[in-house]
Amino acid sequence: MIIVMQRGASKRAIHQVEAEIKRLGFKAHPIYGVERTVIGAIGDERGNVGLQALETWDGVERVIPILKPYKLAGRELHTEKSKIKVRGRVVVGGRTLHVIAGPCSVESLTQICTTARAVKAAGATLLRGGAFKPRTSPYAFQGLEEEGLKMLAEARAQTGLPIVTEVMKESALELVARYADVLQIGTRNMQNFDLLKAVGQLRTPVLLKRGLANTVREWLMSAEYIMAQGNMEVILCERGIRTFETATRNTLDLSAIAVLKHETHLPVIVDPSHGTGHYEYVEDMALAAIAAGADGLMIEVHPNPHEAWSDGAQSLTPERFAQLMKRARAVARAVGRTM
Protein backbone atom coordinates (compact mmCIF):
# COMPACT_ATOMS: atom_id res chain seq x y z
CA MET A 1 0.00 0.00 0.00
CA ILE A 2 1.03 3.61 -0.52
CA ILE A 3 0.33 6.06 2.26
CA VAL A 4 0.16 9.50 0.70
CA MET A 5 0.80 12.19 3.30
CA GLN A 6 -0.83 15.59 3.06
CA ARG A 7 1.18 18.51 1.76
CA GLY A 8 3.04 19.99 4.67
CA ALA A 9 2.35 17.01 6.95
CA SER A 10 4.50 17.37 10.07
CA LYS A 11 7.59 15.25 10.69
CA ARG A 12 5.86 13.92 13.77
CA ALA A 13 2.83 12.76 11.76
CA ILE A 14 5.16 11.06 9.25
CA HIS A 15 7.08 9.26 11.99
CA GLN A 16 3.87 8.13 13.66
CA VAL A 17 2.63 6.63 10.41
CA GLU A 18 5.98 4.90 9.83
CA ALA A 19 5.87 3.46 13.34
CA GLU A 20 2.34 2.14 12.79
CA ILE A 21 3.35 0.55 9.48
CA LYS A 22 6.16 -1.29 11.27
CA ARG A 23 3.87 -2.24 14.18
CA LEU A 24 1.53 -3.87 11.66
CA GLY A 25 4.46 -5.99 10.45
CA PHE A 26 5.30 -4.12 7.24
CA LYS A 27 8.47 -2.44 6.08
CA ALA A 28 8.14 1.32 5.71
CA HIS A 29 9.77 2.93 2.66
CA PRO A 30 9.36 6.69 2.91
CA ILE A 31 10.02 8.80 -0.15
CA TYR A 32 10.43 12.45 0.71
CA GLY A 33 9.36 14.40 -2.35
CA VAL A 34 9.51 18.15 -2.88
CA GLU A 35 5.73 18.46 -2.66
CA ARG A 36 4.83 15.72 -0.24
CA THR A 37 5.98 12.53 1.40
CA VAL A 38 4.67 9.15 0.39
CA ILE A 39 5.35 6.03 2.42
CA GLY A 40 5.33 2.58 0.93
CA ALA A 41 4.16 -0.20 3.23
CA ILE A 42 5.68 -3.40 1.89
CA GLY A 43 4.95 -6.84 3.24
CA ASP A 44 2.42 -9.65 3.43
CA GLU A 45 -0.60 -8.20 1.71
CA ARG A 46 -3.13 -10.06 3.83
CA GLY A 47 -2.62 -7.40 6.51
CA ASN A 48 -3.82 -4.59 4.28
CA VAL A 49 -6.95 -3.92 6.39
CA GLY A 50 -4.84 -2.52 9.20
CA LEU A 51 -3.07 -0.21 6.78
CA GLN A 52 -6.33 1.08 5.32
CA ALA A 53 -7.20 2.48 8.76
CA LEU A 54 -4.23 4.87 8.46
CA GLU A 55 -6.48 6.99 6.27
CA THR A 56 -7.98 8.46 9.45
CA TRP A 57 -4.59 9.36 10.91
CA ASP A 58 -3.25 12.84 11.35
CA GLY A 59 -1.47 14.12 8.22
CA VAL A 60 -2.58 11.26 5.97
CA GLU A 61 -4.34 12.14 2.73
CA ARG A 62 -4.96 8.76 1.13
CA VAL A 63 -4.07 5.09 1.32
CA ILE A 64 -3.92 3.41 -2.05
CA PRO A 65 -2.89 -0.09 -3.11
CA ILE A 66 0.23 -0.72 -5.20
CA LEU A 67 -1.16 -2.68 -8.10
CA LYS A 68 2.04 -4.01 -9.63
CA PRO A 69 3.78 -6.99 -8.08
CA TYR A 70 7.10 -5.13 -8.14
CA LYS A 71 6.31 -2.66 -5.39
CA LEU A 72 9.75 -1.14 -4.90
CA ALA A 73 11.04 -1.42 -8.45
CA GLY A 74 7.81 -0.06 -9.96
CA ARG A 75 6.87 3.52 -10.62
CA GLU A 76 3.71 3.70 -8.53
CA LEU A 77 5.46 4.45 -5.25
CA HIS A 78 8.64 5.92 -6.69
CA THR A 79 7.63 8.15 -9.57
CA GLU A 80 10.96 9.87 -10.16
CA LYS A 81 13.83 8.14 -11.94
CA SER A 82 16.46 6.71 -9.64
CA LYS A 83 20.03 7.82 -9.85
CA ILE A 84 22.54 5.19 -8.82
CA LYS A 85 25.79 6.54 -7.45
CA VAL A 86 28.92 4.47 -7.94
CA ARG A 87 31.95 5.32 -5.78
CA GLY A 88 30.29 8.63 -4.99
CA ARG A 89 31.21 9.99 -8.44
CA VAL A 90 29.59 8.20 -11.33
CA VAL A 91 25.83 8.73 -11.37
CA VAL A 92 23.90 6.26 -13.53
CA GLY A 93 20.35 7.26 -14.45
CA GLY A 94 20.84 10.99 -14.87
CA ARG A 95 21.09 13.05 -18.03
CA THR A 96 24.65 11.84 -18.58
CA LEU A 97 25.05 8.41 -20.12
CA HIS A 98 27.69 6.04 -18.78
CA VAL A 99 29.64 3.43 -20.64
CA ILE A 100 31.04 0.35 -18.93
CA ALA A 101 33.82 -1.07 -21.07
CA GLY A 102 36.51 -3.70 -20.81
CA PRO A 103 37.30 -7.28 -21.64
CA CYS A 104 34.96 -10.20 -21.14
CA SER A 105 37.54 -11.84 -18.84
CA VAL A 106 40.49 -10.46 -16.96
CA GLU A 107 43.48 -12.31 -18.45
CA SER A 108 46.58 -10.52 -17.16
CA LEU A 109 47.60 -7.33 -15.44
CA THR A 110 48.93 -5.92 -18.71
CA GLN A 111 45.75 -6.82 -20.58
CA ILE A 112 43.38 -5.21 -18.07
CA CYS A 113 45.50 -2.10 -17.49
CA THR A 114 46.06 -1.51 -21.21
CA THR A 115 42.34 -1.89 -21.86
CA ALA A 116 41.42 0.33 -18.91
CA ARG A 117 43.64 3.16 -20.16
CA ALA A 118 42.32 2.86 -23.72
CA VAL A 119 38.63 2.81 -22.80
CA LYS A 120 39.10 5.68 -20.39
CA ALA A 121 40.77 7.75 -23.08
CA ALA A 122 37.78 7.06 -25.36
CA GLY A 123 35.30 8.20 -22.69
CA ALA A 124 34.26 5.08 -20.76
CA THR A 125 33.46 5.86 -17.13
CA LEU A 126 33.48 2.34 -15.66
CA LEU A 127 35.72 -0.67 -16.24
CA ARG A 128 34.36 -4.19 -16.68
CA GLY A 129 36.15 -7.52 -16.52
CA GLY A 130 35.11 -10.95 -15.33
CA ALA A 131 37.20 -12.77 -12.74
CA PHE A 132 34.57 -15.47 -12.20
CA LYS A 133 33.23 -16.56 -15.57
CA PRO A 134 30.01 -18.47 -16.24
CA ARG A 135 30.98 -20.63 -19.24
CA THR A 136 28.81 -23.01 -21.22
CA SER A 137 31.62 -25.58 -21.28
CA PRO A 138 33.23 -26.82 -18.06
CA TYR A 139 36.49 -27.14 -20.07
CA ALA A 140 36.54 -23.44 -21.02
CA PHE A 141 38.51 -20.81 -19.08
CA GLN A 142 36.66 -20.16 -15.83
CA GLY A 143 38.31 -16.92 -14.75
CA LEU A 144 41.36 -15.90 -12.71
CA GLU A 145 39.25 -15.54 -9.55
CA GLU A 146 40.91 -13.51 -6.78
CA GLU A 147 44.04 -12.91 -8.88
CA GLY A 148 41.76 -11.33 -11.48
CA LEU A 149 40.05 -9.17 -8.87
CA LYS A 150 43.45 -7.90 -7.72
CA MET A 151 44.33 -6.99 -11.30
CA LEU A 152 41.05 -5.09 -11.63
CA ALA A 153 41.86 -3.21 -8.44
CA GLU A 154 45.26 -2.28 -9.87
CA ALA A 155 43.64 -1.06 -13.10
CA ARG A 156 41.26 1.03 -10.99
CA ALA A 157 44.16 2.48 -9.04
CA GLN A 158 45.90 3.44 -12.28
CA THR A 159 42.89 4.97 -14.05
CA GLY A 160 40.36 5.85 -11.36
CA LEU A 161 37.67 3.87 -13.20
CA PRO A 162 35.24 2.05 -10.88
CA ILE A 163 35.05 -1.72 -11.39
CA VAL A 164 32.06 -3.76 -12.54
CA THR A 165 32.58 -7.50 -12.08
CA GLU A 166 30.42 -10.58 -11.84
CA VAL A 167 29.58 -12.56 -8.73
CA MET A 168 28.32 -16.05 -9.54
CA LYS A 169 27.65 -17.56 -6.16
CA GLU A 170 26.85 -16.58 -2.62
CA SER A 171 29.96 -18.23 -1.23
CA ALA A 172 32.16 -15.85 -3.28
CA LEU A 173 30.14 -12.71 -2.53
CA GLU A 174 32.18 -11.55 0.41
CA LEU A 175 35.37 -11.82 -1.66
CA VAL A 176 34.00 -10.18 -4.84
CA ALA A 177 32.34 -7.37 -2.88
CA ARG A 178 35.71 -6.47 -1.34
CA TYR A 179 36.90 -5.41 -4.81
CA ALA A 180 33.78 -4.55 -6.85
CA ASP A 181 32.23 -1.11 -7.12
CA VAL A 182 29.29 -2.67 -8.95
CA LEU A 183 28.34 -6.33 -8.53
CA GLN A 184 27.22 -7.89 -11.79
CA ILE A 185 24.58 -10.62 -11.67
CA GLY A 186 24.85 -12.50 -14.94
CA THR A 187 22.05 -13.65 -17.18
CA ARG A 188 22.22 -17.22 -15.89
CA ASN A 189 21.78 -16.07 -12.31
CA MET A 190 18.92 -13.63 -12.77
CA GLN A 191 16.63 -15.97 -10.89
CA ASN A 192 19.15 -17.26 -8.38
CA PHE A 193 16.97 -15.94 -5.59
CA ASP A 194 19.41 -16.74 -2.78
CA LEU A 195 22.13 -14.78 -4.56
CA LEU A 196 19.72 -11.90 -5.16
CA LYS A 197 18.80 -11.82 -1.47
CA ALA A 198 22.46 -11.92 -0.50
CA VAL A 199 23.44 -8.93 -2.69
CA GLY A 200 20.32 -7.23 -1.34
CA GLN A 201 21.91 -7.31 2.10
CA LEU A 202 24.83 -5.19 0.88
CA ARG A 203 24.78 -1.57 -0.21
CA THR A 204 27.05 -2.04 -3.23
CA PRO A 205 25.23 -1.18 -6.49
CA VAL A 206 24.10 -4.21 -8.50
CA LEU A 207 24.05 -4.57 -12.28
CA LEU A 208 21.23 -7.04 -12.88
CA LYS A 209 21.42 -8.58 -16.34
CA ARG A 210 18.26 -9.88 -17.92
CA GLY A 211 17.86 -13.64 -17.94
CA LEU A 212 18.22 -14.98 -21.46
CA ALA A 213 14.76 -16.54 -21.30
CA ASN A 214 13.02 -14.16 -18.95
CA THR A 215 10.23 -11.65 -19.39
CA VAL A 216 10.48 -8.02 -18.33
CA ARG A 217 8.11 -8.79 -15.47
CA GLU A 218 10.30 -11.61 -14.17
CA TRP A 219 13.32 -9.35 -14.49
CA LEU A 220 11.66 -6.65 -12.41
CA MET A 221 10.64 -9.24 -9.83
CA SER A 222 14.32 -10.17 -9.54
CA ALA A 223 15.18 -6.51 -8.97
CA GLU A 224 12.45 -6.54 -6.33
CA TYR A 225 14.20 -9.42 -4.53
CA ILE A 226 17.32 -7.26 -4.16
CA MET A 227 15.39 -4.15 -3.15
CA ALA A 228 13.17 -5.97 -0.66
CA GLN A 229 16.36 -6.69 1.30
CA GLY A 230 17.13 -2.98 1.46
CA ASN A 231 19.55 -2.50 -1.44
CA MET A 232 17.90 0.04 -3.74
CA GLU A 233 21.00 0.50 -5.90
CA VAL A 234 19.96 -1.61 -8.87
CA ILE A 235 20.87 -0.99 -12.52
CA LEU A 236 19.15 -3.16 -15.13
CA CYS A 237 21.06 -4.45 -18.15
CA GLU A 238 19.39 -5.71 -21.32
CA ARG A 239 21.74 -8.23 -22.94
CA GLY A 240 19.53 -10.06 -25.40
CA ILE A 241 17.19 -12.99 -25.12
CA ARG A 242 16.89 -16.38 -26.80
CA THR A 243 14.65 -16.44 -29.83
CA PHE A 244 14.47 -18.58 -33.00
CA GLU A 245 16.94 -16.20 -34.67
CA THR A 246 20.44 -17.58 -35.10
CA ALA A 247 22.06 -14.76 -37.13
CA THR A 248 22.91 -13.09 -33.84
CA ARG A 249 24.01 -14.75 -30.59
CA ASN A 250 20.90 -13.39 -28.86
CA THR A 251 18.08 -11.07 -29.89
CA LEU A 252 18.70 -7.69 -28.33
CA ASP A 253 15.30 -6.60 -27.06
CA LEU A 254 15.42 -2.83 -27.37
CA SER A 255 11.66 -2.59 -26.91
CA ALA A 256 12.33 -3.59 -23.31
CA ILE A 257 13.84 -0.12 -22.78
CA ALA A 258 10.57 1.53 -23.77
CA VAL A 259 8.59 -0.81 -21.53
CA LEU A 260 10.94 -0.33 -18.59
CA LYS A 261 10.68 3.45 -18.85
CA HIS A 262 7.01 3.09 -18.01
CA GLU A 263 7.32 0.30 -15.49
CA THR A 264 10.34 1.20 -13.39
CA HIS A 265 12.36 4.10 -11.99
CA LEU A 266 15.56 2.06 -12.18
CA PRO A 267 18.19 2.96 -14.78
CA VAL A 268 18.58 0.65 -17.76
CA ILE A 269 21.76 0.04 -19.70
CA VAL A 270 22.25 -2.08 -22.81
CA ASP A 271 24.93 -4.66 -23.63
CA PRO A 272 25.05 -5.01 -27.42
CA SER A 273 28.16 -7.22 -27.20
CA HIS A 274 26.33 -10.23 -25.74
CA GLY A 275 23.16 -9.02 -27.46
CA THR A 276 24.61 -9.58 -30.94
CA GLY A 277 27.69 -11.77 -30.37
CA HIS A 278 29.54 -10.17 -33.26
CA TYR A 279 31.86 -7.15 -33.24
CA GLU A 280 30.48 -5.83 -36.52
CA TYR A 281 26.98 -5.43 -35.10
CA VAL A 282 27.89 -3.90 -31.76
CA GLU A 283 28.17 -0.26 -32.80
CA ASP A 284 24.85 -0.08 -34.66
CA MET A 285 22.97 -1.60 -31.74
CA ALA A 286 24.77 0.64 -29.25
CA LEU A 287 23.57 3.70 -31.17
CA ALA A 288 20.04 2.29 -31.38
CA ALA A 289 20.03 1.65 -27.63
CA ILE A 290 20.92 5.26 -26.88
CA ALA A 291 18.27 6.49 -29.32
CA ALA A 292 15.72 4.28 -27.57
CA GLY A 293 16.48 5.89 -24.21
CA ALA A 294 19.07 3.68 -22.53
CA ASP A 295 20.97 5.22 -19.61
CA GLY A 296 24.23 3.70 -20.72
CA LEU A 297 26.05 0.85 -22.41
CA MET A 298 28.20 -2.12 -21.54
CA ILE A 299 30.72 -2.92 -24.26
CA GLU A 300 33.35 -5.66 -24.43
CA VAL A 301 36.73 -4.32 -25.51
CA HIS A 302 39.96 -6.28 -25.87
CA PRO A 303 43.40 -5.05 -26.96
CA ASN A 304 43.63 -8.05 -29.27
CA PRO A 305 40.23 -9.72 -29.80
CA HIS A 306 41.77 -12.58 -31.83
CA GLU A 307 43.63 -13.72 -28.76
CA ALA A 308 40.85 -13.19 -26.21
CA TRP A 309 40.25 -16.08 -23.78
CA SER A 310 36.50 -15.52 -23.99
CA ASP A 311 34.04 -13.69 -26.27
CA GLY A 312 36.69 -12.52 -28.75
CA ALA A 313 34.21 -12.56 -31.65
CA GLN A 314 32.09 -9.86 -30.05
CA SER A 315 34.93 -7.78 -28.57
CA LEU A 316 35.90 -4.45 -30.07
CA THR A 317 39.45 -3.26 -30.53
CA PRO A 318 40.21 -0.02 -28.65
CA GLU A 319 40.16 1.79 -32.01
CA ARG A 320 36.69 0.55 -32.91
CA PHE A 321 35.51 1.36 -29.41
CA ALA A 322 36.77 4.94 -29.75
CA GLN A 323 34.85 5.27 -33.00
CA LEU A 324 31.70 3.89 -31.36
CA MET A 325 32.03 6.46 -28.57
CA LYS A 326 32.34 9.30 -31.02
CA ARG A 327 29.17 8.34 -32.86
CA ALA A 328 27.36 7.51 -29.62
CA ARG A 329 28.02 11.04 -28.36
CA ALA A 330 26.31 12.48 -31.43
CA VAL A 331 23.23 10.28 -30.92
CA ALA A 332 23.17 11.12 -27.21
CA ARG A 333 23.16 14.83 -28.05
CA ALA A 334 20.31 14.31 -30.51
CA VAL A 335 18.14 12.78 -27.79
CA GLY A 336 18.98 15.37 -25.17
CA ARG A 337 21.60 13.41 -23.24
CA THR A 338 25.28 13.99 -22.62
CA MET A 339 28.16 11.56 -22.57
- Residue 274 in contact with ligand PEP, rule: CB under 6 A: yes
Alpha-helix runs per DSSP H in the chain: 11-23, 48-52, 109-122, 146-159, 173-179, 193-200, 216-228, 255-263, 272-276, 279-291, 318-334
Q: Is 107 in the site for Mn ion (CB under 5 A)?
A: no
Size of the site for ligand PEP (CB under 6 A): 8
* Nearest distance, CB of residue 285 and Mn ion, angstroms: 15
**Residue 26 or 179 with smaller CB distance to ligand PEP:** 179
Check residue 311 for interaction with Mn ion (CB under 5 A). Answer: yes
Q: Are 324 and 282 in contact (CB under 8 A)?
A: yes
Under rule CB under 6 A, residue 134 binds ligand PEP: yes
Q: Is 76 exposed, middle or buried (0-12, 13-18, 19+ CB in 10 A)?
A: middle
166 scored as a contact of Mn ion (CB under 5 A): no
Instruction: From the list ligand PEP, Mn ion, none, pick the one residue 156 interacts with, judged by a Cβ distance below 5 to 8 Å according to partner type.
Output: none
Q: Is 187 in the site for ligand PEP (CB under 6 A)?
A: yes
Cβ proximity of 227 and 202 under 8 Å: no
Q: Which residues contact 18 (CB under 8 A, 6 or more apart)?
A: 28, 30, 39
Interatomic CA distance for residues 95 and 277, integer angstroms: 28
**Separation between Cα atoms, residue 185 and residue 265, nearest integer Å:** 19
CB of 194 to ligand PEP, least distance (A): 17
Distance CA 293, CA 109 (A): 35
The residue among 60 and 237 lying less far from Mn ion, judged by its C-beta, is 237
Task: Tell me how far, at minimum, the Cβ of 11 lies from Mn ion, in Å.
Answer: 49
Choose the contact partner of 239 out of Mn ion, ligand PEP, none; CB within 5 to 8 A by kind: ligand PEP
Residue whose CB is less far from ligand PEP, 266 or 308? 308
Q: Which is nearer to ligand PEP, 63 or 196 (CB)?
A: 196
First to last CA, the chain: 38
Residue list 208-247, contact with ligand PEP (CB under 6 A): 209, 239
* Residue 186 partner contact from ligand PEP, Mn ion, none using kind-dependent CB cut-offs of 5 to 8 Å: ligand PEP
Where residue 26 falls (left for φ over 0; alpha for ψ -120 to 50; beta otherwise) is: beta
Residues 85-104 that bind Mn ion (CB under 5 A): 104
- Binding to Mn ion (CB under 5 A) within 201-220 occurs at none
- With the CA atoms of 87, 229, 5 and 63 taken in that order, what torsion angle do they form, in degrees rounded to the nearest 10? 150
Binding positions for ligand PEP, rule: CB under 6 A: 104, 130, 134, 186-187, 209, 239, 274
Binding positions for Mn ion, rule: CB under 5 A: 104, 311
